[in-house]
């Protein structure tokens, strides 16, 4: 799902949808983890190629698997707040949104004390009041430039790889999932995509961060 185009476009609430770095740069972002199988598998892939990514964490999953949050941080990746229960927050008033994001932040802090959480991504790309609340809590609203529909039912890895290779653009932010279901096809597609892009001269980086 694309970010809601009605999201306020002010200097601080505007969604980040790119790396902010010219040339063949791309950022990988993963939502809905940590997952006990897919997250470690993706971390292994990224470690083999020395690639950093953003993991947008679902608070309930953080509480269930805090050791994986610590591993994500220890291996140099960056965290995003993806809400506590993966609810649609777009219809909630700012105070209820703030409570949800704070609860998620507290769960992440308990799992990985001191870990920075510079990004927020709204579940389902349903933004509502969340960008302003996220900014008020010190997080950058994180959108994307490419999603390939790797959620349920996930397409085969070959199809995901085709969509990724055809859709990636310089400076783009790619939305994928490491949780929320069977993500084995995503893991396989990423394991094949990363070395191909590296061989073609692409640089993996992180999404832009605006003041």
Rounded CA gap, 19 and 132, in Å? 21
Rounded CA gap, 35 and 98, in Å? 25
φ/ψ (deg, to 5) at 176: -135, 180
Rounded CA gap, 84 and 106, in Å? 10
* Residue 28, H or E segment: strand 25-33
Q: Kindly list the catalytic residues.
A: 31, 177
* Closest to 139 (Cα-Cα) out of 49, 15, 8: 15
* Closest to 71 (Cα-Cα) out of 106, 47, 107: 47
Rounded CA gap, 9 and 131, in Å? 10
Task: Give the pair of three-digit tokens for residue 200.
Answer: 């073609």
């Amino acid at each position: 799902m694309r970010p809601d185009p009605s999201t306020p476009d002010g200097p601080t609430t505007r969604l980040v949808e790119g790396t902010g770095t010219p040339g063949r740069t791309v950022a990988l972002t993963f939502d809905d983890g940590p997952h006990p199988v897919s997250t470690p598998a993706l971390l292994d892939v990224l470690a083999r190629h020395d690639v950093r990514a953003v993991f947008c964490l679902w608070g309930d999953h953080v509480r269930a698997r805090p050791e994986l949050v610590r591993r994500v941080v220890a291996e140099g990746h960056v965290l995003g707040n993806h809400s506590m229960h993966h609810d649609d927050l777009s219809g909630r008033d700012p105070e209820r949104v703030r409570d949800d994001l704070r609860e998620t932040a507290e769960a992440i802090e308990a799992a990985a004390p001191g870990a920075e959480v510079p990004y927020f991504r709204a579940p389902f790309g349903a933004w509502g009041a969340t960008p302003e609340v996220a900014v008020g809590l010190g997080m950058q609203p994180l959108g994307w430039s490419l999603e390939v529909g790797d959620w349920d039912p996930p397409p085969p890895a070959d199809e995901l790889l085709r969509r990724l290779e055809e859709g990636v653009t310089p400076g783009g932010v790619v939305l994928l999932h490491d949780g929320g279901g069977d993500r084995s096809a995503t893991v396989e597609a990423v394991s094949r995509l990363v070395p191909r892009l590296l061989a073609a001269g692409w640089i993996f980086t992180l999404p832009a961060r605006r003041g």
